[in-house]
Amino acid sequence: MAALFWHDGAWHEEEPKIIGPMDHCFWLASVIFDGARAIRGTVPDLDLHCARCVRSAEAMLMAPTMTAGEIEALCREGVTRLPPDAELYIRPMFFVRRGLGASQPDPASTEFILSIYDAPMPPPIGFSAIVAPFRRPAADMAPTDAKAAALYPNGARAVAWAKRNGHDMAVMLDEAGNVAEFAASNLMLVKDGVVYTPKANGTFLAGITRDRVLGLLRGAGREVRETIVTPAMLDDADEVFSTGNYGKVQPCTRVNGRDMQPGPVAAEARRLYFDWAETSRILPAVADPRAA
């Protein structure tokens, strides 16, 4: 796997060994990360991902040691060090080594690390999903205003439950029993040509790719409604699809056991996104062999 890592002022080709069992981040999860993409020379919304990385660190009581602009410049440098046809995941992280008292992180011990590594884009062939019995916490129950590593084990066990029940992915509800998102991406559905997506309510990360896709669809004349989405609406939808950094726009082809075809609105959203992403190109265009 082609990969680069930046820590403590230097680039590394091997994973640096940086923490031990007494470090606060190891045993009390004082870690945040963000996830951006470099896709064959494009870096869509990289500035927004880097800015969110800093906000997440501040929300988790850290003292970020780099600005969003400095992180973005470092990410761009790393991408140019790797092959121009690579499909990469960009993961900046802040973590805390020491604590204040029993559990509070010591902001003065905040550190930064960046990982950039091969992560091929999944093809838009579709995935299946089922509503899981694990819910997203309310904002007063967990640090939902940060992309905190501590939030992800709950989604992981939801996905494991979904797979045990014959599906690829979990749909997670919020504390009120309404649809929040997929376990690893945001959720959109289509009914009679209108796009519906759960309104941001503090229980889930309303993602950067989500907001970009909503804006592109609106700009193309598509009606979009951010609203309460009930589980029953999934069962009545004409289309369901996901938006997120890892796969960008992916159709859902089976929901709660009901088979569906990849629909035209999901295809439109994907086309709009990747057409727009070309405006973020930092490397010369390289032919995609999958397009042949």
Same domain for 29 and 105, yes or no, is: yes
Domain annotation covers residue 44: yes
What is the pLDDT at residue 286? Answer: 80
| 194 φ/ψ angles, rounded to the nearest 5 degrees | -95, 135
Same domain for 56 and 137, yes or no, is: no
Domain annotation covers residue 87: yes
The parent domain of residue 68 ranges over 3-118
Where among 63, 93, 118 does a domain terminate? 118
Look at residues 148, 105, 113, 108 and name the one whose alpha carbon lies nearest to residue 18.
113
Structure tokens at 286: 């390289």
Count CA atoms within 13 Å of residue 13 on its CB side: 4
Same domain for 217 and 135, yes or no, is: yes
Same domain for 158 and 269, yes or no, is: yes
d(CA 6, CA 15): 9
Same domain for 89 and 153, yes or no, is: no
Domain of 167, CATH number, reads 3.20.10.10
DSSP assigned state of 276: H
Same domain for 16 and 73, yes or no, is: yes
Where among 65, 100, 118 does a domain terminate? 118
Same domain for 176 and 241, yes or no, is: yes
Domain annotation covers residue 14: yes
Domain annotation covers residue 292: no
Same domain for 133 and 182, yes or no, is: yes
Indicate the Cα dihedral angle 13, 23, 29, 32, nearest 10°. Answer: -40
Give the mean model confidence (pLDDT) for residues 26-47: 97
- Long-range contacts for 223-226 (Cβ within 8 Å, ≥24 apart)? 223/193, 223/194, 223/195, 224/194, 224/195, 224/196, 224/197, 225/194, 225/195, 225/196, 225/197, 226/197, 226/198, 226/199, 226/200
What is the pLDDT at residue 292? Answer: 43
Number of domains comprising the chain:
2
Domain annotation covers residue 157: yes
Same domain for 167 and 272, yes or no, is: yes
Same domain for 42 and 176, yes or no, is: no
* Residue 77, helix vs strand vs coil: helix
Domain annotation covers residue 283: no
Domain annotation covers residue 284: no
Give the mean model confidence (pLDDT) for residues 140-162: 97
Same domain for 44 and 91, yes or no, is: yes
Residue 291 has pLDDT above 70, yes or no: no
Domain of 103, CATH number, reads 3.30.470.10
Domain annotation covers residue 288: no
Residue 182 has pLDDT above 50, yes or no: yes
Q: What is the pLDDT of residues 203-251, one digit of tens each?
A: 999 999 999 999 999 999 999 999 999 999 999 999 999 999 999 999 9
Same domain for 230 and 96, yes or no, is: no
pLDDT-derived band of residue 289, with 50, 70 and 90 as boundaries?
low
Q: What is the pLDDT of residues 52-78, one digit of tens each?
A: 999 999 999 999 999 999 999 999 999
Where among 70, 92, 118 does a domain terminate? 118
Phi-psi region of 166 (alpha: psi -120 to 50; beta: other; left: phi over 0): left
Give the mean model confidence (pLDDT) for residues 160-182: 98
Q: Is the pTM of this model over 0.85?
A: yes
